[in-house]
């Protein structure tokens, strides 16, 4: 069984073919990230226009790389949400058209669930050999999933495929969003996650004491307070008060102060989410713990989880943590395998605010 996955929820246009829900045959990602750098964040109109240009070449490349023709494809899975409306529309309309033209079942799937399902990939085609470091075995249920991306910070417990419960989530900013905003304050390039983790290598994570938010929900998080604490600390370092504009701070910080702020922020941001993940692992005794989303690429997060979880955690390749279509094809594979009803290719709609 081979599923073609299509992803276009943000600034990555991606297509991938996955076999039997566990074997990666191709993974093509075209990103418009470069075009957004000068604005310090994704510009929806630019992203949508870029999807229009890239989507068909990306899909054809994914089929070619997988050594597949349309006859070899059993179904199409596409991200219907959550994401940017204009970006999602391009992927969904393309998938609908291809499903009609090639007479394939179509599944509109949840991007956030996809970030967790990418952990079910355990092998790659021989022509991808060595390109991906995949877990040695598939996760087993009950499975605790930690989703940490630019738009989401959630802890979810799966009893089985398609049977899950949201344990907790952020009340305000997502963890990736906090990385991006803190990077702006200390003058590091977008996207903030990779640039903060790189800068943090030169810094002292104990240099500045930053607060961890305390919330009533046992498994809920909050990141806007931590971001503000970094801002206040930075204003303090340069001897200005809270009215000093955040975007004028960076040039007044030394390189070492930036590195110390990056390291202190990263440590606190990661500890906050690892504290709750360990708590949930102790309470629910899952058989596996998996992480997904862009921030799952973070080395400090992987280290802290491995050190503190009561069971071994396996992580997927960093290239599969940020947005891609392999995660969508994998999730689509389980919809197809488990007999979910396909969507109507004439009416499948986008769901920009889709939640878990
Ligand atoms: O999953 P993703 O590609 O897109 C969303 O669905 O949001 O996640 C993007 C987020 C960005 O906020 C980016 O700064 C963050 O993931 N990110 C990282 C790292 N790589 C990407 N955050 C921390 N450490 C990283 N190495
Ligand atoms: Zn994502």
Distance between Cα 249 and ligand 2 center (Å): 30
**What pLDDT, on a 0 to 100 scale, did the predictor assign at position 213?**
86
Find out whether 17 and 4 touch, Cβ atoms under 8 Å: yes
Host H or E run for residue 87: helix 85-102
Residue 177: burial class (beta carbons within 10 Å; 0-12, 13-18, 19+)? buried
* Residues whose beta carbon lies within 6 Å of some atom of ligand 1: 10, 149-151, 176-177, 179-180, 191-194, 197, 293-295, 297-298, 322-323
Nearest CA to ligand 1 atom 2: 294
| Cβ-defined contacts of 155-161 (< 8 Å, 24+) | 155/219, 155/276, 155/277, 155/280, 156/116, 156/356, 157/280, 157/284, 157/286, 158/116, 161/334, 161/338
User: Tokens 């276009």, residue?
Assistant: 8
Host H or E run for residue 4: strand 2-7
Pocket test residue of 37, 117, 295, 301 for ligand 1, highest count of atoms within 8 A of CB: 295
Which ligand 1 atom minimizes the distance to the CA of 175?
Answer: 12
- Express the helix, strand and coil content of the chain in percent, nearest 5 each: 45, 20, 35
**What pLDDT, on a 0 to 100 scale, did the predictor assign at position 190?**
85
Host H or E run for residue 124: strand 123-124
Pocket test residue of 179, 180, 323 for ligand 1, highest count of atoms within 8 A of CB: 179
Write out residues in the chain with pLDDT < 50, as ranges: none
Quickly count: other Cβ atoms within 10 Å of residue 299's Cβ. 14
Nearest CA to ligand 1 atom 22: 193
Distance between Cα 353 and ligand 2 center (Å): 13
**What pLDDT, on a 0 to 100 scale, did the predictor assign at position 42?**
86
**What pLDDT, on a 0 to 100 scale, did the predictor assign at position 168?**
96
pTM of the model: 0.95
């Amino acid at each position: 069984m081979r599923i073609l996955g299509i992803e276009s929820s943000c600034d990555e246009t991606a297509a991938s073919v996955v076999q039997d829900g566990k074997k990666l045959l191709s993974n093509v990602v075209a990103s418009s990230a470069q075009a957004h750098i000068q604005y310090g964040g994704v510009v929806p109109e630019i992203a949508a226009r870029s999807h229009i240009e890239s989507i068909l070449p990306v899909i054809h490349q994914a089929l070619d790389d997988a050594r597949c023709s349309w006859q070899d494809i059993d179904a199409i899975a596409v991200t219907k949400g959550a994401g940017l409306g204009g970006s999602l529309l391009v992927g969904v309309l393309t998938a609908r058209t291809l499903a009609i033209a090639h007479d394939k079942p179509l599944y509109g799937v949840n991007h956030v669930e996809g970030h967790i399902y990418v952990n079910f990939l355990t092998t790659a085609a021989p022509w991808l050999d060595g390109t991906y470091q995949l877990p040695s075995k598939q996760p087993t249920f009950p499975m605790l999933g930690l989703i940490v991306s630019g738009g989401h910070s959630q802890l979810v417990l799966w009893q089985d495929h398609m049977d899950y419960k949201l344990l907790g989530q952020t009340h305000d900013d997502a963890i990736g969003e906090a990385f991006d905003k803190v990077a702006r304050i200390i003058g590091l390039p977008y996207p903030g996650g990779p640039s903060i983790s790189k800068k943090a290598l030169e810094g002292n994570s104990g240099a500045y004491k930053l607060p961890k938010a305390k919330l009533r929900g046992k498994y809920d998080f909050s990141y806007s307070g931590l971001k503000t604490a970094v801002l206040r600390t930075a204003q303090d370092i340069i001897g200005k008060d809270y009215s000093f504009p955040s975007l004028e701070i960076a040039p007044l910080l030394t390189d070492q102060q930036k590195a110390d702020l990056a390291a202190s922020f990263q440590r606190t941001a990661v500890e906050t989410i690892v504290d709750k993940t360990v708590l949930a692992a102790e309470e629910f005794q899952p058989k596996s713990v998996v992480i997904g989303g862009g921030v799952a690429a973070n080395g400090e997060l992987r280290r802290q989880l491995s050190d503190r979880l009561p069971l071994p955690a396996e992580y997927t390749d960093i290239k599969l943590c940020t947005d891609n279509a392999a995660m969508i094809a994998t999730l689509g594979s389980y919809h197809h395998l488990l007999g979910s009803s396909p969507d109507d290719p004439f009416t499948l709609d986008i769901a920009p605010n889709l939640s878990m």
